[in-house]
Chains A and B, each alone.
Chain A
């Protein structure tokens, strides 16, 4: 039998039983679609997080107070008491490091902002003039915190605060009450949307000294450090660590992380998660494979008489086996293609529904899903096909 004929014969057999074929294709396509959609979701989440980090700035080094020990138990930690606070002076000291371009301390807290009887909970960020450049933020109006007067009672507000407290009026020059203090608004940030869970549109930025006085605390939440260049990130990290160690009496009680490291960690965690969901979805592919086998076994029983006839007409075992294998392959291929289209449609729906999520299925997942579908279909088709090929022609012919 020619391959073209085998394929045509198998196609006729598949289309000859439309309901069976439809159900089979449906089962297989659900498996493939599940892999495509779930990996799109997983990978979308990964990309979302990675993009969020990238929006922080590309050559950032972040200093956290306290030593986070990831390398197991360290006896030094057992004898040290609470770590030293991270201070504004620490931030100013870091700027001396040759690989560092600029730094910005961050003190963070929440408070109430009141203007003209309108009250709103806001996130207070205490920082310095360099913060704007460091975070790659833009101003919509006015100017940012002044370099010359770090104690000025001034504020820069997020776009959402502007619209909620002041409406279409300009907020510049207005006096805002925050907690028990009064600050003059000198700038409004351009709207940026989401930024690492902290919405930059809903913050009030104050000089760090003012913010610390407001929270009655000397400690900083973070110090952001920008390296002079992407290639100098590791040097900036090392120099920052050395400087702070020196300032803290030789004790390394801060954690300095690079954005790349954080990014890589998230990338790894979410990547593993994607593999995990792909694995779970692949189970449905295995189930679909077993279904293919079941359907093909039923087909062999159903068409026993036909197999007997083909044998009587001189079909070799190989021809019959190939015809049934081709049919199994066709069913899985149709299922795989349908599933792929369904999956892509699902991912598209996901992207439409959740706009911030770049839910595109990764290429490896698509290839793996289609490959698994075809391979399981064929693999599980072998047994029924062999059974058909081995049927005794006399017995088979009697079953008509």
Chain B
């Protein structure tokens, strides 16, 4: 059973009176533990695909099975629960809450999942340790470097031990060296068994993935 299975996915946006097919008749199957780079020009539909995979958006047609379960028919709150427990997001612009400390940002998913405070603190401590952020726990995002911010974001994405990490241009706002560091981190997570799906238009970055899905006009141009 594949981890992710998309069949006949359609996503249509209406701009004025013209309909734009952001995704058209898309089939995609991803096995657990894969490392997939989704590539393509801007407007090719790769972000729409990622939003759909992350259950932030619903397809107009087709089915999405996550771990064998049809998730397209779930209610918004049920989808929120799936996102919380099975999916981790890493964004280009980090998306940290500015008034919260690094530790509090990492703890957000645990707080939303209503975990015991003691258990939360234990898991956050361990995550900060693992990502080399132990001495930055009480810093707010504006007191952290770009690389540190993205490490906080990755720690947050993995704290619930999700099945899949969706990364949208994770190195887009970082310099080359820090970007490299972040990619190594994500790859290490993938090596430990987490499925990694990364949207990028950086060919060099895409080349590192085990599988490249190239998108064009809402369709798969190549896959492999």
Which residues on A are within 8 Å of B, measured CB to CB?
1-2, 5, 9, 12-13, 15-16, 305-306, 308-319, 393-394, 397, 400
Contact partners of B156 in chain A: CB under 8 A: 313
Q: Residue among A1, A9, A314 with the most chain B CB within 10 A?
A: A314
Q: Which of B57, B81, B91, B98 contacts A314 (CB 8 A)?
A: B81
What is the interface of chain A mostly: helix, strand, loop, or mixed? helix
- Confirm or deny: B188 has a beta carbon within 8 angstroms of a beta carbon on chain A: no
Given A16-B99, A314-B160, A394-B56, 7 other A-B residues pairs in contact with their CB atoms under 8 A: A9-B111, A13-B99, A15-B99, A310-B108, A312-B83, A394-B57, A400-B91
State in angstroms the CA–CA spacing of A310 and B114 once bound together. Answer: 14
Contact A314 B109 (CB under 8 A): yes
State in angstroms the CA–CA spacing of A311 and B89 once bound together. Answer: 11
Contact B109 A313 (CB under 8 A): yes
Contact partners of B77 in chain A: CB under 8 A: 316-318
Contact A313 B84 (CB under 8 A): yes
Q: Name 7 A/B residue pairs within 8 A (Cβ), A-sorted.
A: A310-B108, A312-B54, A312-B56, A314-B112, A315-B84, A394-B51, A400-B91
Contact partners of A309 in chain B: CB under 8 A: 95, 97
Contact partners of B99 in chain A: CB under 8 A: 12-13, 15-16
B78-92, CB under 8 A of A: which get 1 and which 0? 001111110001010
- Confirm or deny: B93 has a beta carbon within 8 angstroms of a beta carbon on chain A: yes
Q: Which of A5, A12, A313, A397 contacts B83 (CB 8 A)?
A: A313
- Confirm or deny: B76 has a beta carbon within 8 angstroms of a beta carbon on chain A: yes
Contact A5 B56 (CB under 8 A): no
Contact A397 B91 (CB under 8 A): yes
Closest Cβ of chain A to B182, distance in Å, is: 18
State in angstroms the CA–CA spacing of A308 and B77 once bound together. Answer: 14
**Nearest chain B residue, comparing its CB with the CB of A305:** B95
**Nearest chain A residue, comparing its CB with the CB of B153:** A309
Contact B51 A313 (CB under 8 A): no
Contact partners of B111 in chain A: CB under 8 A: 1-2, 5, 9
Q: Residue among B56, B91, B93 with the most chain A CB within 10 A?
A: B56
Contact partners of A13 in chain B: CB under 8 A: 99
Assuming the contacts A13-B99, A16-B99, asked whether A314 and B84 have C-beta atoms less than 8 A apart, the reply is yes
